Chains A and B, each alone.
Chain A
Amino acid sequence: MKIKVIITLKNGVLDPQGKAIQQTLNGMNFGNVEDVRQGKYFEIEVKEKDEKKAKSLVDDMCKKLLANLVIEDYKIV
């Protein structure tokens, strides 16, 4: 079963890459871009048929490795 995870920086944490992308987009005449936040996306193939179990495993992975909860939030989608 494939579980998808999105990791983003917490609100309030500085994202200089997102800022640089936003400024570049503004410079390319996408003037209505007000903010960009960059994140990470994972597709994790788990050997598990039960979706609930698989998601709970991935939740544990997020806490232990995939995300650093000091600055990042994760969302299992």
Chain B
Amino acid sequence: MRSSVIIFPGSNCDRDMGVALKKFGFKNQMVWHNDQSIPKSDLIVLPGGFSYGDYLRCGSIASKSKIIKSVIDFANSGGLVLGICNGFQILTETGLLKGILQQNKFLNFICSNVFIKVKDKQNKYFRDLKKDILELHIAHNEGNYFCSDDELKSLEDNNQIAVTYCGEDGTENETTNPNGAIKNIAGIFNNNKNVLGMMPHPERMIDKYLSGEDGSLFFKNILDNFK
């Protein structure tokens, strides 16, 4: 499976993502944001970080960069596009995903492990995943997902809510919501479920001694579904 990780000025999880993808057997390439086109890929990843210093709004400047037209075309033709953290913010600013990531409710930068519940498995990311609850890492200041009531209803009706923040036992409530996101939303899909944006970082959970391996499950599952 071929993957491309797009690097923007200020991306800082691009290398970690590249290392993770390679570890599980993706043929990965790093692509600079100023390039016109993306090498042939089965998966495009927009990595975490602080593209353009989070100027204006997180992800807004990157969402207008040269490479984005190719990413949008790829997504519209059914290609898999995964945005992690700042990548999720960029995807909402392009309009590929609904809503926006606002500043965390309590105005704090959050850096911690969280549990997330997989809400939908009818897609190429989570189909046949052996676990329903994953432990992943979050590190963000703007992860407070927000959208209009109409948009939320359509996300729910089409099962586009991908993952939600929860407790270790799966409890979803205010105390297991780190940033104030509506409905504890940690990640969503587009209508066709080929575009996934989520705040948690699977690329940080790929070593059984350092972090746990729930991120490994995530990457291996994408590969398994591709075969």
Chains A and B form a bound pair: yes
List the interface of chain A (C-beta within 8 A of B): 13-14, 16-17, 20, 65-66, 68, 70-71
Chain B min CB distance to A74 (Å) = 13
Chain A residues with CB under 8 A of B106: 16
Name the contact of A70 in the complex, choosing from B56, B105, B146 (C-beta under 8 A): B146
Closest 3 CB pairs of A and B: A70-B100, A16-B107, A68-B100
Q: Flag if B60 contacts A68 (CB, 8 Å).
A: yes
Q: Flag if A16 contacts B56 (CB, 8 Å).
A: no
Name the contact of A13 in the complex, choosing from B93, B105, B146 (C-beta under 8 A): B146
5 A-B pairs whose Cβ atoms sit less than 8 Å apart in the complex: A16-B105, A17-B103, A70-B100, A70-B148, A71-B102
**Is B57 close to A, CB under 8 A?**
yes
Nearest residue (CB) in B for A13 is B146
Q: With A68-B60, A70-B99 given, is the CB distance from A14 to B180 under 8 Å? A: yes
Chain B residues with CB under 8 A of A16: 103-107
Alpha-carbon distance between A71 and B56 when the two chains are bound, in angstroms: 14
Q: Flag if A14 contacts B107 (CB, 8 Å).
A: no
Chain B residues with CB under 8 A of A71: 100, 102, 146
**Is B147 close to A, CB under 8 A?**
yes
Chain B residues with CB under 8 A of A14: 102, 105, 146, 180
Query: How many B residues, CB 8 Å from partner?
Result: 17
Q: With A70-B147, A71-B100 given, is the CB distance from A20 to B107 under 8 Å? A: yes
Given contacts A17-B107, A65-B60, A65-B64, 20 further A-B contacts (CB under 8 A): A13-B146, A14-B102, A14-B146, A14-B180, A16-B103, A16-B105, A16-B107, A17-B103, A20-B107, A65-B56, A68-B57, A68-B60, A68-B93, A68-B100, A70-B99, A70-B100, A70-B147, A71-B100, A71-B102, A71-B146
Chain A residues with CB under 8 A of B107: 16-17, 20
Chain A min CB distance to B187 (Å) = 17
Chain A residues with CB under 8 A of B57: 68
Chain B residues with CB under 8 A of A70: 99-100, 146-148
Alpha-carbon distance between A14 and B60 when the two chains are bound, in angstroms: 20
Chain B residues with CB under 8 A of A13: 102, 146
Nearest residue (CB) in A for B104 is A16
Chain A residues with CB under 8 A of B147: 70
Chain A residues with CB under 8 A of B180: 14
Chain A residues with CB under 8 A of B100: 68, 70-71
Nearest residue (CB) in B for A70 is B100
Interface code B102-118, partner A: CB below 8 Å = 1, 0 otherwise? 11111100000000000
Alpha-carbon distance between A71 and B103 when the two chains are bound, in angstroms: 12
Q: Flag if B56 contacts A66 (CB, 8 Å).
A: yes
Alpha-carbon distance between A17 and B108 when the two chains are bound, in angstroms: 11
Chain B min CB distance to A19 (Å) = 9
Chain B min CB distance to A35 (Å) = 17
